[in-house]
Amino acid sequence: MNCMNMEGENNQNSSYLKLELERKNISQKQLQSDLGVSQQYVSSIISGKKAVGKKMAKKLSELYDLDESRIILGDLGDHFLSGSFSMQTSVKIIKNKPHDEQMQLLYNKIDDLEEKLLMYQERDRQYFEAITAKLNIITESTISEPGKKEKSNS
Residue 150 scores a pLDDT above 60: no
Does the pTM exceed 0.75? Answer: no
Q: Kindly list the domain boundaries of the chain, sorted by start residue.
A: 6-76, 110-154
User: Which residue from 31, 29, 40 is spatially nearest to 59, judged by alpha carbons?
Assistant: 31
Residue 3 scores a pLDDT above 50: no
154/114: higher pLDDT: 114
At 27 the pLDDT is 93
How many angstroms separate the CA atoms of 129 and 89, rounded? Answer: 44
How many angstroms separate the CA atoms of 109 and 118, rounded? Answer: 14
Domain 6-76: state its class.
Answer: mainly alpha
User: Which residue from 57, 49, 55, 53 is spatially nearest to 5, judged by alpha carbons?
Assistant: 49
| Residue 6, amino acid | M
Q: What is the pLDDT of residues 29-60, one digit of tens each?
A: 999 999 999 999 999 888 888 888 888 989 99
At 5 the pLDDT is 39
Q: What is the pLDDT of residues 58-113, one digit of tens each?
A: 999 899 998 887 787 765 555 555 555 555 666 666 777 788 888 887 888 888 88
User: Which residue from 154, 113, 119, 111 is spatially nearest to 136, judged by alpha carbons?
Assistant: 154
44 contacts 50 by C-beta, under 8 angstroms: yes
At 80 the pLDDT is 52
148/61: higher pLDDT: 61
Question: Please, is 109 exposed, middle or buried when counting C-beta atoms within 10 Å of its C-beta (0-12, 13-18, 19+)?
Answer: middle
